[in-house]
Structures are given as structure tokens and as C-alpha cells.
Amino acid sequence: MAIEKLEGVILRVRPQGETSKIVTAFTPRRGLLSVIAKGARSPKSKFGGGLEVTNRVQLVYYHRDTRDLQVLSQVDILERFEHVQREIGRLALAEAAFEILLRTEAGQQTAHQLYNLLVQTLRGLEHGERGLRNVLRSFVLHFLAVSGVAPQLRACRRCGRSEVPARLQFDLEHGGYVCDQCVPEGRTVVPASGRTLEWARWLAQVPPEKAAAPISERTAAELDRWLQLYLGYHFESLHGLRSLAFLNGLSAAQRAGS
């Protein structure tokens, strides 16, 4: 049994029995890692506030290859995202990114890139002020790129023209877009405006940390519809994300209240 020290972001914490917690973290070296924090539910636990979701921490644990669940020995906080932890809207956006990583069981090969992406996303949600949902949209587009299914947004897949058309169709199957007049028969397409394509191009370029920016409701709705369908098309496990349903419910409640 070896003692390992790993950096990671805490994605999920679940109570285990009377006194312990099961902590799932995303680490740059091992991808998803589950550890049991014995005694963590006790008020005098040595883990204290270190095991809060979204915390970037250093985990010290006893590693055994034959075990799925490793035993946590120590946790030290490297970075806190206080606004994300305290505001339900920011937390829900962060947890939508977590849910994507948890459901796709992102592995070791791309873990380092995904970890950097995750930390940038949390920083974007922590420091951004308006248009925070663009941070999540940017995370999704970068996640797709790291996973090898990035949509081709430079030019129409059929005629090759790179100028932004007034109307277009996102092609789920071939991972790009086609101009309105180039739509082939029998394809699964999502209609959108040229403005939506411009936003998609920008969000795929900019790091999530800098993606917070106000966006019109219509463009946001088109982007979200396309991204949700695209995610679901390429990853069966990403159908019906709970965090997104939560976010949509929260936005509807806030609109009704305002």
C-alpha cells in the first residue's frame, strides 16, 4: 500500500454510514478518483471544510490497485471558489460541468487537459459577473474538442464557404454546420442564425475563464439547444443532464419572480 499525493477538484461528496463521506474528485493524473474520508461527518473531523465541492485540493491517500475506493488520509485546500459555493446559480453551472465529467467517466488519457479546463471553468464562474452560462458553454465546446468530437465551425461542410451566413443548420452527425441552401436530405440538423455561429466560434476559442459575457436570449436558446443535442448525440450518457434541468428551472423561477 503506497501513500499518494494528488491535486484534484472535488466534484461530489456523499455521506457514507454514520461517520464517513465518499468523495469523488477529478485529478490531472488519474481522472476521476473516489476516496473514503473516514470520520469526515464528525464536527471535529481533521478534514474540516476541505471536502467542500468545487474546492481545488491536495489529497493524500493510501493507494491500493485492487481497491476501487481509496482511503483518504489528509486534505489541504489549494484554491477556494467562494462565490461558486455560495450562489446557487454559479454552483449549478459548476455542477453541470461536474456532471459531464462524472457521466462520461473521463479517463486518464485526457485527464490533464480536462483538469485544466475544469479549473479554468471554476475561475470563470468565480470571477465572472454577467453572462456566466457562457462559461459552461465554453467548457462544453472545449470538452468536445478534448474528447475528439469538436464541431467544425470554420466553414460550411458542404460548400466550404467560411463567411457567416444569415441562417444555417448545425449538422449533428457530421459535427459542423451547413449553409441554409446546402442542407442535405435526411440529416439531423438544428437551425440557427449566423450570430449563433459567431458566438459558437468565439466560445470554442476563448478559455472558459474569460468566456463570461452577456448574450441575447434568442442566441443563448439556439446555442443551448444545439449543444445539448450535440452532447447527447455523441455521448449517450449525457442525455437528460440533471444540472441543466435544474438551471432551466431556476432561470424560469427567476424570470417569474422578476
Q: Which of residues 228-257 bind other proteins (CB under 8 A)?
A: 242-243, 245-247, 249-250, 253
Task: Give the integer Cα–Cα distance in Å for 36 and 16.
Answer: 8
Give the residue with the Cβ less far from other proteins, 93 or 227. 93
Q: Does 160 bind other proteins (CB under 8 A)?
A: no
Q: Does 186 bind other proteins (CB under 8 A)?
A: no
Q: Does 87 bind other proteins (CB under 8 A)?
A: yes
Task: Give the integer Cα–Cα distance in Å for 38 and 46.
Answer: 10
First and final C-alpha spacing in the chain? 56
Q: What angle do CA 169, 172, 176 make, to 5 degrees?
A: 60
Q: Does 118 bind other proteins (CB under 8 A)?
A: no
> Would you tell me how many other CB atoms lie within 10 Å of the CB of residue 33?
22
Task: Give the integer Cα–Cα distance in Å for 8 and 226.
Answer: 31
Stretch that binds other proteins, among 41-49, 115-123, 156-164, 218-226 (CB under 8 A): 41-49
Per CB under 8 A, the list member of 34, 58, 73, 85 interacting with other proteins is 85
Give the residue with the Cβ less far from other proteins, 48 or 184. 48
Per CB under 8 A, the list member of 63, 80, 195, 201 interacting with other proteins is 80
Provide the edge-to-edge strand list for the sheet that holds 167-171: 176-179, 167-171, 189-193
Task: Give the integer Cα–Cα distance in Å for 34 and 28.
Answer: 14
Give the residue with the Cβ less far from other proteins, 101 or 172. 101
Beta pairing partners, 87? none
Give the residue with the Cβ less far from other proteins, 184 or 240. 240
Q: Which of residues 93-112 bind other proteins (CB under 8 A)?
A: 95-96, 98-99, 102
Task: Give the integer Cα–Cα distance in Å for 215 and 236.
Answer: 29
The site for other proteins (CB under 8 A) is made up of 12-13, 17, 43-44, 46-50, 52-54, 77, 80, 85-88, 91-92, 95-96, 98-99, 102, 242-243, 245-247, 249-250, 253
